[in-house]
Structure 1
Amino acid sequence: MSDLTLTAAATSHGCGSSSCQCASVSAPLATPIARINGVALHAPGQSPDVEALRELAYTELLRQQAVRQGLLPDHAGPTAPEVTEAGRLIIEAMVDQQVTSPKPTAEEGQRYYDAHKPQFVVGQALHVRHILFAVTPGVNVQALAVHAERALLELSHKSVHPERFAQLAAELSNCPSSAQGGDLGWIGPDDCAPELARELFHVQHTQSGTGVHPRLFHTRFGFHIIDVLERRSGVEPAYEDVRERIAALLTLQSRARALHQYMSLLVGEADIEGIALNGADSPLVQ
């Protein structure tokens, strides 16, 4: 059948007669089946969401690798089998054996400490108030950002009245703290979203000063206007006090890189249909 015939067959509806009611009925589009090396990840007609499909794909990649290693029996069916708990343990043991990562050296730990000292400060806290412009389903994010920028511009003006922040928080903020003029009280790095904690506590240029921050903070919740009212600087521990913590962190990072390389190798060697994969997306690397 030619490409033109295929196109016509895909776009025509019903028998083609103008007097037949079937001409107004559209044929449903079939959901393509994702496959790893020819093995279907789901049955015809099923439509797993993207995350579920990726998890199925990576599980099947690992299952097939275990079969090639002689660790699991082969599967003759057209659809990928569900991996049992015993099978998962075998796969985990296989990965542990095949994926090796170097242990961090003392020199690497010292370099990480020197480059990330604010991350290890203890006892630091900020008295903060904010205005949250929440990103909710269906919201026009660009228009919301413009709205937030206008409010920030007003609050950044030198002649702004001291009470204006609380007024705008009560009028605009989508956070319950709006009832208190946006006041969150004293917070530490563990009291807020990680992306906000990074900007407020771990980035060097934010380690001093008070007042309205000159730019919006963007987190998973939306856009924030941040006003630092008071600051407790905290204490910076010596490297020896956090050496083991840094070693554990670097070990996790090293293993994540090794797992990424391993999964990328499996992805590169496989014949993959109906889904785009990247080794970094694997649940093993999360």
Structure 2
Amino acid sequence: MTTGCGCGGGNGGSGGCGSSAKAPVIEVEVEVPLEPELIASSEQEWPIISVNGVSVTPESMALELQYHPAESREEAVYLAARALVIRELLQQRIAELGLAVEIAAGENEEEAATRLLLEREVKVPECDEPTCVRYFENNRGRFHSAPLLAVRHILLECAPDDAEARHQAHGQAEVLLLSLEENPGRFAELAVKYSACPSKAQGGSLGQVSKGQTVPELERQLFTLAPGLAGKPLESRYGWHVISVDQRIEGQPLPYEAVAVAIRTQLQQGVWQKALVQYLQTLIGAADIRGIALQGADSPLVQ
């Protein structure tokens, strides 16, 4: 059983059920075949992969596998193998160029060398002001301050993997909801009696809740609600919530000046990602890669 709901709703009634990460080499979406193609004779064997004659070992794939959760073992192995192939290509290019590495704070030698390589070989133009303004004008609906909700809840707590407890908690939440529909004034009383959240000390009040303060699965439901008692219990990893929205303050349109930096960062990141994918595809296209099918580029990006 979890302890509390992580809402921060005790101690004054502010906050919501709160949302609570080694990355494999470089995470980018390189264009690949629709179906992963690996050379392996059974699910128990690792594919036989090499990059310009250098083998990708089963041991390295087994270690990398943990960073690539997927619906099937085949897909996870493919993603792990792809990441290791990209890593090997980058390391071979670093060695080919003979880069002199200066390690910055928080980096190891490999990370520093990869950063230096990409700084040297992946050049992207800066997004200018007219481009950012045009993006803002074409996407005004996206730039609003987040709405605020004044929320009360009753948490019927249960473990996420306990199906029977979940079923019982949902039934209890439905009963409480029916009772509150008949007599909304009993919310605080029922919160004190039944809620597993510390906010019960404030009659279930979470205070004002904005986006990012609740766990994602609850937030997606919560911010669709109109003021008043929610018509059905809402489910989260912590259990079932009986919700009352006492007030909803809609977000307001933001001026360009308030979002200019965020727009520039977003657009620049998109340009960087495209340039990086193109660079990696160029390395793939020029390499002798065996045992895995990846999409490469025919013409070299970097001379």
Cα distance in structure 1, aligned partners of 2:152 and 2:111? 47
Cα distance in structure 1, aligned partners of 2:291 and 2:247? 55
Cα distance in structure 2, aligned partners of 1:234 and 1:57? 45
Distance 1:49 1:182, change over 3 A: farther
Match of 2:108 among 72, 85, 106: 85
Displacement, 1:105? 4.0
Structural mapping, 1:71-220, within 5 Å: 71-72=94-95, 85-96=108-119, 97-98=121-122, 100=124, 103=127, 105-112=132-139, 114-118=140-144, 120-121=145-146, 124-134=147-157, 136=159, 138-140=161-163, 144=166, 147-148=169-170, 151-152=173-174, 155=177, 159-170=181-192, 172-194=194-216, 196-197=218-219, 200=222, 206=225, 209-219=226-236
Structure 1: gaps spanning 5 or more residues: 1-29, 74-83, 278-286
Cα distance in structure 2, aligned partners of 1:264 and 1:227? 52
* TM-score under structure 2 length normalisation: 0.53
Percent identity over paired residues: 25
Q: Does structure 2 conserve the Cα–Cα contact (< 8 Å) formed by 1:216 and 1:225?
A: yes
Structure with a larger share of its residues in helix? 1
Cα distance in structure 1, aligned partners of 2:240 and 2:275? 35
Displacement, 1:184? 0.9
Q: Does structure 2 conserve the Cα–Cα contact (< 8 Å) formed by 1:34 and 1:40?
A: no
Displacement, 1:237? 2.6
Correspondence for 1:60: 84
Displacement, 1:128? 0.7
* TM-score under structure 1 length normalisation: 0.55
Q: Higher RCO, 1 or 2 (CA under 8 Å, sep at least 6)?
A: 2
Cα distance in structure 2, aligned partners of 1:265 and 1:133? 54
Kindly report the root-mean-square deviation, in angstroms, between the aligned alpha carbons of the 2 structures.
Answer: 4.7
Distance 1:192 1:137, change over 3 A: closer
Q: Moved runs in structure 1, 4+ residues, more than 6 A? A: 46-49, 52-56, 260-269
Structure 2: gaps spanning 5 or more residues: 1-42, 69-75, 97-106, 295-303
Cα distance in structure 2, aligned partners of 1:58 and 1:192? 35
